[in-house]
Structure 1
Amino acid sequence: MKKITKMIASVVGGGMIFGAIGVSASETVTVDPGDTYWGLAQDYENVSTEEIVEANEYAPRMIPIGAEIVIPTDESEKSSDTRQDVVTHVVQPRNTLSDIAAVYEGVTADDLAKLNPDVDPESLMIGSEIVVFDYGSEDVAEDEDFVYHTVQPGNTFYEFASIYDGITVDDLLEANPDVDAYLLQIGSEVKIPTK
């Protein structure tokens, strides 16, 4: 469990001459293995990763375990529950972005790289969290009529039809008129109607 310390930072400036004192609240969080600025920011409403980076002296990829990280927020802004619009994956030993993408239908390694710009795909930290879906992001295309399946070696329309309930090969052919069902390109996306 993270150790959280609350502190009030009094900001006294030129306004003190007039008797005005500004007060801002912040918290400090002790870094655990796998913590990232992005992951910490997700626990707080109205606090961005950039604000946390600016409030701390550590480089985003060099946060030492046990360090005290300042979270610039009001206590009232702290999120009372975990965000429901973000799905994450905890990195396991020897995971790559491609391995993680293969676990989630319709997700590609490129999608993961775009959703996790602060993550080095060549050196994923075991125990860190990778964003898989961000339904609150403006970058996520909303298409309620379809889900997308990334083609893996050996995939066929018949296989997709057997995986998705109520979907036939004819449904797939109709939804993907530009796709050659006999020459599926590995890594391409196939539209799966949601009916």
Structure 2
Amino acid sequence: MKGAKWMSANLPASPGKIQGFSSLKKADQKKLESLWKVIAGSGSSKNGSGATSVGAKRKASEMEEAGKSTKSRGKSSNGSDKAAAKLAKLTSVQGVLTAAQLTKVQKLEEELSSRTTAQLQFELAKNSQGRAGKKEELTQRVAEGRILGALPPCPKCEHGQIHWSRLGGWFNCPGYFDREAKIQKRCNFRAKDMSRSAWKKM
């Protein structure tokens, strides 16, 4: 069987000039035409013109896609903060809060989002509230405290910090760390209603 170089060098100018082409069925003629185009194409790519054209088009396409991707990343980064704020508001659980209370809490959360973690912790400490957690949790804690009031200490163990669940409205105490014994002491206090004290702002 002849090689690709021989085929390219001895290829007729057109498929119709191949001996016996006219006697073939139309389906076979189409197959032969396709084969002729493949062989002719491989020969032109050797000269460099075909390969250069395809390569240039490919590079231009890649550059265009890269430009679109860069613009897309720029737009997404510019609106990421706004999108995060909107998502936080949409996913905020109302729970036992009234519609008016939820609106006030969400408005405060938006205002307090510009505060630093240290500022939020300072206000929580001023009201004897828990200061552990992510900034989003501290923001929510301060906002709820300003609207609902400060949570009291545990009436059972007298040392633990009361936690409140907006979802179910329950007050509970998980316990506290005993520094003298150097162990975590558990507490199973749980109540549906508790008195809150007035909140002290910064």
Q: TM-score range by the shorter chain?
A: under 0.3
Larger relative contact order (Cα-Cα within 8 Å, sequence gap ≥ 6): 1
Please give the TM-score of this superposition, normalised by the length of structure 2.
0.23
Larger Cα Rg: Structure 1 or Structure 2? 2
Please give the TM-score of this superposition, normalised by the length of structure 1.
0.24
